Each structure stands twice: as C-alpha cells, then as structure tokens.
Structure 1
Amino acid sequence: MPKYVSESRVLYLDSDIVVRKSIDELWDLDLTAIPLAAVRDDFYTHNFNSGVLLINNGMWRAENVTQDLI
C-alpha cells in the first residue's frame, strides 16, 4: 500500500466490510511506534486478519515491511 499511496496513514477495508458507525476511534489509534494495526487471527496466532488494516506509511517504508511480508 505505501508504494501506491503517499498519505502518512491509510485505512484499508476489504470490500465486504460494512461500516455502521464512526471509525474515528480506529483512525485515531497511535501508530507512532508501529507500522500496522490489525486484528490477530484467533486460530493462527502468528497471523492477522487483513480485512481491516490501519497502516503507518512512513514507518512501513522505513522498516521495509513489504519485504518482511513476502
């Protein structure tokens, strides 16, 4: 995502996500020290659900997270 979007933070939502109330609290999460906020997968404990991702683009680029995920 950071390769294609220049904004400092991005909220990615899968196409099947329905937002029914304000997402301000999610958007306002402190991402100062982390490149990504996501929900852990209950079954696969080293994975996360990629349906909702809040991305700190600056840190993602600086930490080269894309390479770590591949």
Structure 2
Amino acid sequence: MVIEIEAKENEKTSNIKEKVEKPEKIETCYLCNKKFDMNKDDYSHYKYDKYPMCDYCSQFYGFYDE
C-alpha cells in the first residue's frame, strides 16, 4: 500500500517536472500561418531545421517526410 502511494506520487511529480521543463514556444507555421506551440507533444517540427510546421500541416503533408 505504501509503495503504491509512493509510486503514484513519483508519477505526479515527474509529470509536473515534464511540464515545467517545456516552456511554451509560439511559432507561426510557414504553410498555413497558424500560430502554434512548438513544444507540444505532437507532430509539429522544423522543416529543414529552419521552417516551423504545425501539427496539422505535418500530418497532412506527412508523405513528404524525409
């Protein structure tokens, strides 16, 4: 019982640490000009390490992925 509570507390604190470690980084997609958070856990990424691409465009144009 005590071990389960400690495990749950460790999971909660690790989730909080993950949220703290990822500050919000607002970018504008170069295809659709939509503002989005680059640090979210989705398919958003930089194309050619320079051009920000939102989650929607990354999934839509996914067949062009390198």
What is the TM-score normalised by the length of structure 2? Answer: 0.26
Q: Which structure is richer in relative contact order (CA contacts within 8 A, separation 6 or more)?
A: 1
Structure possessing the higher radius of gyration over alpha carbons: 2
What is the TM-score normalised by the length of structure 1? Answer: 0.26
The structure with the greater share of residues assigned to helix is: 2
